[in-house]
Amino acid sequence: MGTVGGYVLALWVLHGCPCSISSRLLAESQREVCAKHGGHAFRQGCKEKVKGRASMQNLPVITRGRMGIVSAAELLWFVLFLLMFCWIMGNYIVRDLKAFETIHLKPFEKMWGKKLKRIGLHLGFIGIICLNLLFLPVSRGSVLLRTIDIPYEHAVKYHQWLGHFMMTLFTLHGLSYSIAWYSEDRLSKLFDWAPHKVANFAGVIALLAGVTMWITSIGWVRKKYFETFYWTHHLYIVFALFMTFHIGEVLFNVTFCGLFLFVLDRFLRFCQSRNSVGVLSTKLLPCGTFELTLAKSRGVKYHALSYIYLNIPEVSKLQWHPFSVASSPYDGDSWLKILIKPYGGWTLQLQDLVSAVVKLGRCPSNINAAIEGPYGHESNFFLQYEMLVLVAGGIGISPFVALLRDLLQRYQRGQPNLPSTVYLIWAVQKSEELQLLGLIPASTICPDYKLKFNLEVHAFVTRETSPFSLERGSETSDLHQHDRFKMPRILASLIDAEASKHPMSIVAGAGNNMWITACFLASLLGYIIVYLLINLFIVQPFEQGSVKDGNSSGSIPRWITGLFSVISMILGVVICGGSVVSLWNFLGRLHQNTSGAVEENVHLLSTSDNDGTAFTDECADRLLDPSNTYFGHRPNLRDLFDGYRKLQRPGANVGVLVSGPESLQISVAETCRAFNTVNYDSRRVAFSYHSVSFEL
């Protein structure tokens, strides 16, 4: 192997490989420990409930601003990150000041320009380190995030923070060199593409692609022009590729860990999404919301607060949308449910498609889906609390439908050490949306649930002053008020049991850990093999031929060797990792008993339909009634939380979960912060904040 190739491989072994392997092994060791010591506890309920003050991760400190809701732990890490940056830059500057005392300038150079370029060089190198970290949070099945149980929807903001910081560094890096070259009358160097030095023009292209993504990712631009943000963000391919051309293969190894894990995760997502998933049933609800039941393999595991990415090719082959799972894993092994409320163009088109299929009674429905996931927390963290406060806004009730069904199923199975008290605060705009809570047939799942735990619901209808139409006479108000809470929950439904033959693929980035580890190691080995083969059959013969011809500068250009590194990584993942994925998928299909799943799904879905449409005159099955439904105003969270606090023992820790719009999350975070004192007091009741909402 050539000297340069050996040096590059040595640098990769020292920097890239240990980061990748240690992250995988750390994840596996953590999973094994949890499986032996904590896994059973989370399945059967936590033996020891959380007490005392809220943890730093669940303690909101900053609730308003460009950074969003920031916990104490996140703020601490953010400050430490900035301090480390200042320390590194300070060391560089001190070292450079000593070096500049003996430096000799070229005729066209100026001392301040030389210093400016050196500062720009250091800023660029730190930016490359940030680039390595940038891809870790957006790897949906990231082994690092799964190890510390930070789900993708929470890690996205870390990607945003790193992106803003990194692009600031790269922009200052580019400006530093541009200003210095302009002062030297050498601005044309921006367009240089030196074969054996830094390719400046490649860096300019990468910076332009990065700035374009940066501008379109600004908060108000992203929310108002989401399609623009989404499609311009695909420029990350251009950005990463030309950045590799710019820095070469040596510095490429500094970014290897993050890029490699991202490429592997992206490949697994691609493999899973190629599988067509059958829609077992569709239900139309009175409020316009509709429910889809999707077939899945028994090997696909998820938790009550998991979510999936959904694509419906009949609507759009390119658009993917996240939806919370609205069913419990205990409801059935071969399917899961999601609730969809029409908001934008894609969901409205899907509503039209589902309505047409259901009303025509077309069976098979021929509605196919592509799925990525499930994603979410690695554990049922809500089981560690003695008391839960669930705060939802509108369709944000979906994950709590799954959570409540999960708790009811666990109580019915006699699992110990479960939360003893659950309060649900739900705000909707119109009273017809309240029927979504009818998807939780509490007394059907667990007939004596009222004897086992305390479940209280407080519903708030903000845009209505009464539960009946204003045009109706007051003499019939009581009747209409009673009927409002007994309105038929399902307008129409359709079951397609044959869809069980097309379940969700078990190949997923957040899937079986042993298979993920095998894919990881195979891909890593594949990268090494491909890199060595390229070096052996392309790089070395080229360099040896150049030496024989007497061409001392005839080595392969630096940007091409960087391209070889990218090609090696992609081929290693696709060929070697793909071989493991193919075996994983083949064995999964071999053990999948679709005939049994068809019969099970027909029975379970029929039972589920009966639970959703059959009504009883007893109030025991209704979680909502006129006594706990309030009209014309929003919930006063301070008063409600204060009431919950008074009911708890001193030193209790209450789990607060919120799902809904950003304004609701801010209100809940501020309320939790108000009740959590900075100075620890063992007699105070703590409120631990958890957001289960997803927003890009």
Tell me the C-alpha distance between 689 and 673, whole Å: 9
Q: Tokens 């790269």 identify what position? A: 170
Q: What is the DSSP string of 437-497?
A: GGG--HHHH-TTHHHH-EEEEEEEETT-SSSS-TTS-GGGHHHHHHHHTT--S-SEEEE-G
Per-residue pLDDT at 37: 41
Average pLDDT value over all residues in the chain: 82
Distance of CA 374 to the CA centre of its chain: 10
Per-residue pLDDT at 242: 95
pLDDT in tens, 628-671: 889 988 999 999 999 988 888 888 889 999 999 999 999 999 99
The SS3 assignment for 140 reads: coil
Which 3-state string (H, E, C) describes 623-660?
CCCHHHEEECCCCCHHHHHHHHHHCCCCCEEEEEEEEC
Least confident of 23-37, 426-440, 504-518: 23-37
Higher pLDDT, 103 or 335: 335
Share of the chain above pLDDT 70, in %: 82
Tell me the C-alpha distance between 447 and 451, whole Å: 9
Per-residue pLDDT at 47: 55
Higher pLDDT, 333 or 388: 388
Tell me the C-alpha distance between 129 and 131, whole Å: 5
- Predicted model pTM: 0.87
Least confident of 2-16, 176-190, 539-553: 2-16
pLDDT in tens, 142-154: 777 777 778 888 8
Per-residue pLDDT at 112: 86
Under a CB-based contact definition with an 8 Å cutoff, are residues 543 and 299 in contact?
A: no
Tell me the C-alpha distance between 6 and 23, whole Å: 25
Tell me the C-alpha distance between 350 and 373, whole Å: 20
Confidence band, pLDDT 50/70/90 cuts, at residue 490: low
Least confident of 12-26, 90-104, 407-421: 12-26
Instruction: Extract the tokens encoding 660.
Output: 């809904």
- CA dihedral (356, 357, 361, 362) in degrees, to 10, reads 130
Instruction: Extract the tokens encoding 402.
Output: 């799954």
Higher pLDDT, 250 or 616: 250
Burial pattern 494-511, b for ≥16 Cβ within 10 A else e, equals bbbbbbbebbbbbbbbbb
Highest-pLDDT range among 565-574, 623-632, 681-690: 565-574
User: Which of 360, 337, 242 has its CA nearest to residue 290?
Assistant: 337
The SS3 assignment for 597 reads: helix
pLDDT in tens, 335-379: 899 999 988 889 999 988 888 888 776 666 678 899 998 998 888
pLDDT in tens, 310-326: 999 999 888 899 999 99
Ordered by where they begin, the domains of the chain are: 3-44+105-270+510-588 (no CATH), 276-470+480-503+611-635 (2.40.30.10)
pLDDT in tens, 261-310: 999 999 999 999 988 998 888 888 878 888 999 988 888 889 999 999 99
Highest-pLDDT range among 178-187, 436-445, 469-478, 671-680: 178-187
Share of the chain above pLDDT 90, in %: 41
Instruction: Extract the tokens encoding 11.
Output: 């640098």
